Copies of this chain bind each other. A is one copy, B any other.
C-alpha cells in the first residue's frame, strides 16, 4: 500500500426532510449571506428551493439566487456567479442540485476569493482557498457532495477539465433520498453508472496487496447492482434510493481509493464524448467502460477475473482466467443495458467519423501535451482510437 493522507471533513445530514436543516447547517459552518446555486425548474417545481429558503430565513440568513446550471456545467455561469458573490459580499455557497450544480458552485467558491481567473485552478493550480460550500443533493451520481473535485467546461473551445483541492470539500451535504424519487429512470441509471465508474476507476490499480480497498470497492458495486433494479421497478423505493445515495458518496470520497494507483481512463475517454455530443456523462461511461476494459484486459487478466468472480458472480475458469475476465466485462455491459443505458456509439448519438478527432483531443487536448493518457495502462492516440472503435 502506498503512503497517503485522507481528510474528508464533510458533515452529512442524511434522511427524510434533511433539507430543513440547511439554515442551521449554514449557520454552524459560519455562513450569513448565501448564494443559492441551482439548475433548472425541477428544484423550483418540487418545492425544494422554497423549503431551503424557508430554512435559511428561519435562521435569519440572507440569500441571493442563481439558477441556470446545465449538465456538463459551463464557465460562463461560473463567471456570473463570481461577479454576484463579489457584488453581494457572499460568504457561503449553497448548491441545490446534482454534480453539475455542485461542481459549478465549487468553481464559483474558488473564483470569488481569487484575484486571477478561476480557470487557473482548472489548468492545474491547487485549490487552497474557496468560500465555504454546502450542498443539497438531488441525484446520486457524481459524488461531488463528499469529494474535493470539480469538473467544468470552458465554452471557449469547449474544453472540459477538472480541479481538485481540500477547499473543495463541502462543509456539509444534505442527502435526502426522497428528493431523488422524482428523477426520470434514465437520469437515475446514468447516476448509478457514474457511481460504478468511480469504483472501477479505483479498482483498476497497479498497486499490489490492497485487499481492504479492493473489498470495499467490490462491496459498493455489489450494492449498486442489487439496488438498481429495485429503483428501476419502483422509483419510490426509498430504501433502495438511500442505499444508492450513501453508496454514491462512499464511492467517491476516496476512502476506498487511498493508498493505491487509480485509473480514470474511462472518464478521460468519456469526457470527449460528452464534450462533443453533450450526452449524459453516465451514458457516455456506459459505452466507454466495456470498451476500455476490453482493450486493457491483457494488462492484468487476474484483476479483471477477480472482479468478475467477486462482483458479477462469474465462475472462475482456472484453466483460462481470461475467459472469466471477459465474462465479467460482458456482465457489466448487460447490467448497464438492463437499466436502460446505451451500449454503442449509435445509441449514444456519437459518430464513427469523429473517432480520430475524439482520440486526438483525448491525448493532446485539455491541456494534455503528452500525447498519452495514463493510469492503469498508458495509451497513445492509436490505442484510444481503437477503444472508440470498440464502441461502434
Query: Per-residue 0/1 for A69-80: is the Cβ within 8 Å of any B Cβ (1 yes, 0 no)?
Result: 000000000000
On whether the beta carbons of A212 and B250 are closer than 8 Å, the reply is yes
- Given A215-B220, A215-B222, verify A240-B209 contact (CB < 8 Å): yes
The chain B residue sitting closest to A25, CB to CB, is B5
Asked whether A302 is an interface residue with its Cβ less than 8 Å from the other chain, the reply is no
**Residues in chain B near residue A8, CB distance under 8 A:** 8-9
Asked whether A16 is an interface residue with its Cβ less than 8 Å from the other chain, the reply is yes
Bound state CA distance, A259 and B223, in angstroms?
15
The chain B residue sitting closest to A210, CB to CB, is B243
Bound state CA distance, A3 and B312, in angstroms?
31
**Residues in chain B near residue A211, CB distance under 8 A:** 223, 226-227, 243
Asked whether A255 is an interface residue with its Cβ less than 8 Å from the other chain, the reply is yes
In the assembled complex, the CB of A331 is this many whole angstroms from the nearest CB of chain B, namely 17
Bound state CA distance, A106 and B3, in angstroms?
27
Asked whether A258 is an interface residue with its Cβ less than 8 Å from the other chain, the reply is yes
Within A1-48, the residues touching B (CB, 8 Å) are: 1-16, 18
Bound state CA distance, A238 and B247, in angstroms?
29
**Residues in chain B near residue A364, CB distance under 8 A:** none
Query: Per-residue 0/1 for A142-176: is the Cβ within 8 Å of any B Cβ (1 yes, 0 no)?
Result: 00000000000000000000000000000000000
The chain B residue sitting closest to A16, CB to CB, is B3
The chain B residue sitting closest to A226, CB to CB, is B211
In the assembled complex, the CB of A25 is this many whole angstroms from the nearest CB of chain B, namely 10
Within A213-256, the residues touching B (CB, 8 Å) are: 213-216, 218-220, 222-223, 226-227, 238-240, 242-244, 246-247, 250, 255
